[in-house]
Amino acid sequence: MKIVIVTETFLPSTDGVVTRLKEAITYIHKKGHEVVIIAPDLGVKEFDGAIVEGIKPAKLPVYSSKYFSLPSRKVKDLLEKHNPDVVHVVNPALVGVSGVYYANKLGFPLVASYHTHVPKYLDYYNLYPFKPIFWAYFKKLHSYAHTNVCTSQTILKELQQKRIHNLEVWKRGVAIDHFHPKHESTSMRERLSNGNPGDKLLVFVGRLAPEKEIHKIKPLLEKRKDVSLAIIGDGPIRQQLEKEFEGTKTVFTGNLHGEEFREAFASGDAMIFPSVTETLGLVILEAMASGLPVIAAESGPTKEQVVDGETGILFENENTQSMIDAVEQLEDPELLEHLSENARKEAENFSWEKPSEQILEIYKKTIAIAK
């Protein structure tokens, strides 16, 4: 089977979508199938033997920290060139529109997957009046797909309410051998706590953007002088956040990779996750695999991953005192150990093999549906 994946984001970008695609492509290759990737041209020409066909990138005024590719006729030429058995358009929004349109026009079986809750993001960019337009836009795009997938039961229900058809959840996964408590590092803890290793060390991992709601953590740091925060990642509001968190015990590391990233996860006391805009949040499972309990704002997707009092602690969104109370529970060493052990055990149930096997079966099913 030959699969063409058209995606709005790929290497060298680092996010949950890229992580999921890398794992799926590696698995698919092991099963003897061929993959071609069509993505913004950021200099990467292949991954695990898969050709990466680049589309000229551009920066968008509303999100200038990242490159995207706009709709392009080149996608039609590439689909005709590779003549796939199935096309998978990941997060159709810009270049993915071309993937949807031309796959449909050329008669290829089509899978579309929904990973980024763009209509929800509009609240954070003063664009909320445009929500109905965006929902109509995404509904139209996904209506062309023979199969639509999303990443959590919560989002599946919301998409069903929007009358997006043929939906199923693409299961979550984590590299359970890659993220592990054994990567805990004294020197990394010193670095992340800025020389205060005795503090409670909270770790945030993700894109530094308004929808991540990182600013909600600041009141906690102002009240608790024995808590340090490490913010791992980069994004359009990094400078704004650095100014906002000035005077607090906060370290900004930028993006970390490889062993440094594994050590950072494993060297904290807990991960803090204030966002309620995620369609899943793979970093939650990566933290749990590293033995970190997750302190998360309560939302549908977080409740699908974090069991309050067992693998982490949930707090009420927009309630600073609730977040402070959640962190205070970590003062109980027995509870902290209980949460840490349970988080790791839970993560061990979610290797990448099952979701990768699942997407391969979805491709096969979609080919059969399209006949």
pTM (2 d.p.): 0.94
Residue 205 neighbours by CB distance under 10 Å: 25
Task: Tell me if residue 26 falls in helix, strand or coil.
Answer: helix
Taking only the tens of pLDDT, the chain with its 371 residues reads 999 999 999 999 989 999 999 999 999 999 999 999 999 999 999 999 999 999 999 988 766 678 999 999 999 999 999 999 999 999 999 999 999 999 999 999 999 999 998 888 887 777 878 899 999 999 999 999 999 999 999 999 999 999 999 999 999 999 999 999 999 999 999 999 999 999 999 999 999 999 999 999 999 999 999 999 999 999 999 999 999 999 999 999 999 999 999 999 999 999 999 999 998 889 999 999 999 999 999 999 999 999 999 999 999 998 999 999 999 999 999 999 999 999 999 999 999 999 999 999 999 999 999 98
Pick from 186, 187, 218, 213: which is nearest to 202 by CA? 218
Q: Which domains does the chain have, with CATH numbers?
A: 2-173+352-370 (3.40.50.2000), 181-347 (3.40.50.2000)
The secondary structure of residue 248, as a DSSP letter, is S
Taking each helix axis from N to C terminus, what angle separates 282-289 and 333-347, rounded to the nearest 10 degrees? 110
What percentage of the chain's residues is helix, strand, coil (to nearest 5)? Answer: 45, 20, 35
H-run or E-run covering 346: helix 333-347
CB 241 within 8 A of CB 217: no
